[in-house]
Amino acid sequence: MVGAVIGWLFGFFLLIGLLLLVIYQLVSLSDLEYDYINPYDLSSRINAVILPEFVLQGTLCLLFLVSGQWMLFIFSAPMLYYNVRLYQQRKHLMDVTEIFNQLNGEKKRRLIKLIYLVILLFLSLFWMVWTLVEED
pLDDT of residue 2: 78
Average pLDDT in the 119-132 region? Answer: 91
Residue 76 to residue 57: CA distance in whole angstroms: 8
Per-residue pLDDT reduced to its tens digit, 22-61: 999 999 999 999 989 999 999 999 999 999 999 999 999 9
Average pLDDT in the 68-94 region? Answer: 94
At residue 135 the predicted structure's pLDDT band, cuts being 50, 70 and 90, is confident
Residue 16 to residue 117: CA distance in whole angstroms: 9
pLDDT of residue 136: 63
pTM comes to 0.92
Average pLDDT in the 67-85 region? Answer: 94
Average pLDDT in the 114-136 region? Answer: 90
Residue 65 to residue 135: CA distance in whole angstroms: 20
pLDDT of residue 1: 67
Amino acid identity of residue 107, one-letter, is K
